[in-house]
Every structure is written in structure tokens, then in C-alpha cells.
Structure 1
Amino acid sequence: MTEAINFGAGPAMLPTAVLQTIQQELLNYQQSGLSILEINHRSALFQTIFTELNVLLRELLDIPSDYVILWLGAPARLQFSMIPLNFLDDVSRGAYVVSGIWSKLALEEAAKLKQAYVLASSEENQFNQVPHIDNKCIKPHTAYLYLTPNETINGNRLTQIPQVDLPIIADMTSCLLTEPLKVNQFDFIFAGVQKNIANAGLTLVLARHSFLKKSVYNMLPTYLSYQTHEQAHSLYGTPPTFNCYVALKMLQWLKAHGGVAAVYQHNQIKAKLLYDYIDASNFYYCKVLPKYRSQVNVCFGLPSHELEQTFVLMAEKKGLYGLKGHRFVGGIRASIYNAMPLSSVKKLLDFMQTFAQLKGHKQ
């Protein structure tokens, strides 16, 4: 059987070692006689998992003590609604940096519910860069600045945190734990776990406690209030227990591999390998300006849509899956998150070289 390598943007690859551990523990967790899929969320077994998960996350990201960790049983996209509902009233407004499709969708959702505006956008440049932020454009009564440091669909990356006198909210779904981070530069961070943390179906929130207290708590449906989840310690509703267990295994794997700083160096090597080849090629191209290129979502194109379709089909025959670009933008996308080994990236590179030669293009 040909080895299958998942280059998909999410649900993304999980390390083989983690999958093997899950397999071993699936039927009888900790000699309890129960599957990890069955244990009660208020049992001592699960509380041990949950406690260790939070302790390890704080260690890996050096999360300050005044930050709350929430694990929410919902897609990250729900935060597009929850954020304006929690932090905007009838007077205040949210400022959005539109650097790609996901930040644009977040803005559109916020504008349905409250007052939200574009502070800066690179859409006119097809999101080939991250827009410059001019503090003079910040409007009165702005309650927060919203940004997406890594745009999964467009393959761009924020290289510098804006210096603004506002609380900063960040969607880090595709970049959290892939590079060093100063959590205290942000007031609210959220991330869907299906890229680097666990299997799909769980959202992680890191929030400054003082910022959460600004939530319009009494005006919201109970489940949609962040204060509800803080007060219930993420157990207001039954959490996705299996996802939390997988998250713990992933964080243990990350720590064993040197932590965030070590995988960041590894991610840089993987990304450079692909971008250097693409830039030297007369067959492949990358629209994103070099300064702003994502290190975990390498987006590139071929001379025609037909060639891109053929590329994806032939790649799958070689065991390279998930390379089709997002339906909104097309092209090719190789997601090379923490779990992706360098050897797999080299296999993709070999295929890219072979495919170009097959189509009569000298490299």
C-alpha cells in the first residue's frame, strides 16, 4: 500500500506516534475497562486529562496567570459571531484587518450583528500581502482590533503585531503553537484545534480575564457568553472529551519534540524548501510576496487550471493528499503544520519536480 500523506489544511495530519497511542488506549483507558470515548466528563479520569491539558498548554505557550483557558465544543467559526456579541454594545464598534478570506468572513459576520468596519485591507491586491495599519484610521468608540495572523486560504502571514491602543483579538486557528508567541500582546486568542492541536470539533480560547469581564453577559443566550464558560471551567455543556484527550496527546508530543521553539525551526526549514523551489521554477508560482508568506500553508499555482487538476489527481496516486486549493481561490495548497515531517515535504518536492518535467518544463 502506498503511504498516504495528508497535506490538507484541516482536519490535518496527526503524528503517527500519537495515532498509535490513541489506538492502544482506545478500548481500555488507564486500565479502567472503559474506552476513552466513554468516560464521563465529570469523572476523576477526565478531570485528570483536563487538568494536565491546561497545565501543559500554559507551559508550552508561557500563558500568564491572568489569562483564562477555555475549551469550547464548537467550530472556531462560531467565534465570528460570539466575539461581537460579547464585546460590542450599541455604541462601540470592532475594527477588522482584512488580510484574507477568513478575516473577511469574520468582518461580514460581525457586521450582521453589530457595528464593524474595515481598518485595513489587502483585498485589492488579491491578499498577496498583509495590509498596513494606519492608527489614524481608527474610529471613535472602537472596542477591539481583530486580525488573522495566518490566513489559511490565501497563504499569507502577519510578520509584526500592530502597535495600537486597543485590545487585540486574533484568530490563530492555523498558526497557534507553530511559532513563538507572546500571549500578553493579545487580549483574546482563539483557534480551531484541527490544524495543530487535535481532531476537528473543538475550539481553544485564551483570554485576558479583565477583557472577558467586559462581556455583555446578561444580554446574551447563556451558551454564547464567554463568561458562562469561564465560570463553568469549560464544562457548561458536555465538552468533546475525546478531542480534549487527543489535544493532551498532541501537546505531550510537542513537548517531547522540543516545544514551540523547536518545531518553529523545523517549520521554517520545510517552508523554505518549497518556496525556494517554487521561486526558482518557471512552471510553479506563488502570488504572495515573500515577506508575507505563510510558513504552514504554502499556496502556489501552475500555468493553467487544467494542469492544477491533473497535478492533484496524479499526486493522490502517489499518496499525496489534500493538495487542492480552497474552493474560493483554487490553485494548490500544501499545509505543512507541526506534525508534517521534513521527509514528507521532500516527497512532495520530488513529485513537483517530476510533474514539471513530465509536462515538458525545464527546472
Structure 2
Amino acid sequence: MTVQQTDQKQKHYFGAGPSPLPQPVLEALGRDAVELTTVGLSVLEISHRSKAYEQIQETAKQRLRRLLNIPDTHEVLFLQGGASLQFAMVPMNFLPEGRTAGYILTGQWSEKAYDEAVRVGAARVAATGKPHEWRQLPVLPENVVSADDAYIHITSNETIVGSQWKTFPHLSAPLVADMSSDILSRPIPVDQFHLIYAGAQKNLGPAGVTVVIVRKDWVEEASPNVPKILQYGVHLKNDSKYNTPPVFAVHAVERVLAWVETEGGVPAMAKRAEEKAKLLYDAIDESDGFYEGVVRKEDRSLMNVTFRLANRDLEPTFLAAANDAGLKGLSGHRSVGGFRASLYNAVTVESCAALAELMRAFRKRHS
């Protein structure tokens, strides 16, 4: 594939998060940071109790409902603290004494969720891919759900190693998912989950706000014996405004959701994700071992493409070549090494084509 020379202003950024935002969204946010024309104030200045903010939040909520086909059984919350706070909030609310919670471990982020849960209650490892160094998803045993399980937790996409659940298990226990790094990139069966949480800084917007989608009837079962600020019920009752919400971050999420709608919605994002990932995985798989994928093929992520060079000594040279070509943010996580190209929604097909072309050219020079 021949890639035409891109405009000098074209950004090729593959960082794992915070991720790029769509250019039209950045331009709109720049204007709104100066003055939100409907109120004559910067969006950074308006009150979270104002009608202007209420409209922003409600519009964001309704856009997300449409895009993900969220049923009426579930509520949308805009919280703070990132996914890391959700690691603790979930067990604090839903892991009572005398019950267990099963955690399916697929990488470092699911491990972090589990580590927080064991501080709260009787969390257990229901399945793990650690014996395979996270390079493949675990096969779920028949007894993956214990009779005492209050819920089962999974991480839909592991950004560090680059694995992803293509389908989700149907289980007899409530299913909870951290979808921080692939929400809005593909259709999801929301009604299959009791709770979904996602830090915004991959596909939804900037850091500073976390989206939670939770079954309303499950919230009614949550423990009341935790601080109010950590109770889902309190946030639901107060429409995500129990404490001052991150106004600008929620506004940015609303603008990103509007952009996704204009681009064709989640099905269009899913098609684009497959196209982008295929460009890079093809460059890896056709390289006769020059490049090595980290994760087995059937478990590869469409959001985070991870790879190494067979000749590790060439990796610094490759990274320098990428940087010289304007391809930024490709260093792999320190625990994995090598390279990671994160392909969140705002990353363009053109950027992925440019990286694939560089990979082929570099291989040709150094084979």
C-alpha cells in the first residue's frame, strides 16, 4: 500500500493514554474554553448547578445511551478518580461479608482491580492468564462462578500487553467490566453487565472523568456502610452532582460523543478499528519473524497493538526512525518492552498506514 505524503500538521500519535482527541473536538473545545456562546462565559467558569451544565451533562448521557444502546434498566454516572477508584468502589459497594467476588485476570490492570478487592473482602482468582505471561486470555473453567460470588470482574481490553475479549462470557453471577480502553470502539451487550466503568482518556474524552453504567436495581442492593462519596446510590440520587463534577471534562466527553455520532456511530468506529489494526498486524505477520506479536493472534487487541523486533538490538534504532518520521508514542510499557501502538478512535487510518509503511521500509533496510 502506498501512502501519500501527509500534511505537515498531521499528527501521528499512538500513546496509550491520554489519547488523541478528534481535531474538530479540539477546535470546538478551544472556542468553548474562551466563551460558551450560550451563556457568555468560558465553559471552565460555569457553575455545575447551572442550567448550562445540566444541559451538557444530560446531552452527554443521552448521546451515550444512543451510541451504546443502553437499556432503561441501567443508569449512566459521571464520576471522578479514574478506573483506579472503581477498583475499590465496586467491592466496597457490592462485596458483602460472607460473599466472594471472582476476578478473571488477563494482565496488570485486572490484577490491580483484584489487589484492591482483596483489601475490601473475600476476592478470589476465578481464572488467570499469568502462567502464559498474559500472552493469551485464560480458558474459563466450568466452575468459574462460585456459589458465593457476588459478582465476576473482567477487564475487556488490557492496554499493556495488548489482549482483548472478543466476546463476553454469559455467567450466572453479575458481571462487572473495566472497559476503559475499548469502550465506544465496538458494540457491547450492555444488558449482559451489572456494571461497566471506563476512564475517559482513551475513547471518551480527556482524563478527569469516569463513566459508569450500572443496573439501577443492583445499586439498591449496595452496602450503605461506606462513605457517601463512594456510594453509587448517592451519585445516582444526585445525578452525578453529589460533589462538584469535572465540568470541562464532561463537556469534552459530550463533544467527543457528538463527533462519534457524526462519524457513523459505534459500528463505524468498530469498522475503522478493524481496518487500522489489520494494517499493523499484517505488517507484523508478513515479516517472516522480523517483527513478533506479543499476544496470540486470536486474543489480539484492536486498540493496543504490541510487538517486538526479533533482533532486540535494533529496537532503539526502530524507535528513533519512528520518531524521525513523526510517529510518536510507540514505546511499549516498561514491563513488556518493545512497542505499543494504541489505536483509539481518534487515531486515523492514515496514521496507521504511515506506521505500517515505516515498518516495511525498516525491515527492508535491516533484513
TM-score class, shorter: over 0.9
2:121 maps to a residue whose letter is: K
Structure 2 residue 200 is matched with structure 1 residue 178: no
Comparing 308-317 with 64-73, greater Cα deviation is found at 308-317
Distance 2:335 2:118 in 1: 21
Distance 2:107 2:256 in 1: 28
Distance 1:55 1:117 in 2: 36
Residue-by-residue CA offset, 1:65-92 (whole Å, 9 max, x unaligned): 1111110022111111111111111111
2:72 maps to a residue whose letter is: S
1:280 maps to a residue whose letter is: E
Structure 2 residue 223 is matched with structure 1 residue 204: no
Structure 2 residue 158 is matched with structure 1 residue 151: yes
Question: Could you tell me which residue of structure 2 aligns to residue 301 of structure 1?
Answer: 308
> Contact 1:2–1:318 (CA<8 Å) still a contact in 2?
no
Residues 77-92 of structure 1 mapped to structure 2, 5 A cutoff: 77-92=84-99
State the 1:2 CA deviation.
Answer: 6.3
With structure 1 as the length reference, what TM-score do the two structures score? 0.96
> Contact 1:67–1:209 (CA<8 Å) still a contact in 2?
yes
Residue-by-residue CA offset, 1:32-79 (whole Å, 9 max, x unaligned): 331111111111111111111111111111111111111002211111
State the 1:21 CA deviation.
Answer: 1.3
Match of 2:25, SS state, is helix
- Identity among equivalent pairs (%): 38
Structure 2 residue 219 is matched with structure 1 residue 232: no
> Contact 2:170–2:192 (CA<8 Å) still a contact in 1?
no
State the 1:304 CA deviation.
Answer: 4.3
Q: Which runs of structure 1 show a deviation greater than 3 angstroms over 4 or more consecutive aligned residues?
A: 1-4
State the 1:336 CA deviation.
Answer: 0.7
Match of 1:36, SS state, is coil
Structure 2 residue 255 is matched with structure 1 residue 249: yes
Comparing 91-100 with 312-321, greater Cα deviation is found at 312-321
1:253 maps to a residue whose letter is: W
Comparing 349-358 with 107-116, greater Cα deviation is found at 349-358
1:276 maps to a residue whose letter is: D
Distance 1:203 1:135 in 2: 33
Question: Could you tell me which residue of structure 2 aligns to residue 54 of structure 1?
Answer: 61
Unpaired segments ≥5 residues, structure 1 = none
Structure 2 residue 319 is matched with structure 1 residue 312: yes
Question: Could you tell me which residue of structure 2 aligns to residue 216 of structure 1?
Answer: 223
Comparing 302-311 with 41-50, greater Cα deviation is found at 302-311
State the 1:247 CA deviation.
Answer: 0.4
Residue-by-residue CA offset, 1:86-133 (whole Å, 9 max, x unaligned): 111111111010011111111111112211111111111111211111
With structure 2 as the length reference, what TM-score do the two structures score? 0.95
Match of 2:180, SS state, is coil
Structure 2 residue 139 is matched with structure 1 residue 139: no
> Contact 1:2–1:319 (CA<8 Å) still a contact in 2?
no
Question: Could you tell me which residue of structure 1 aligns to residue 130 of structure 2?
Answer: 123
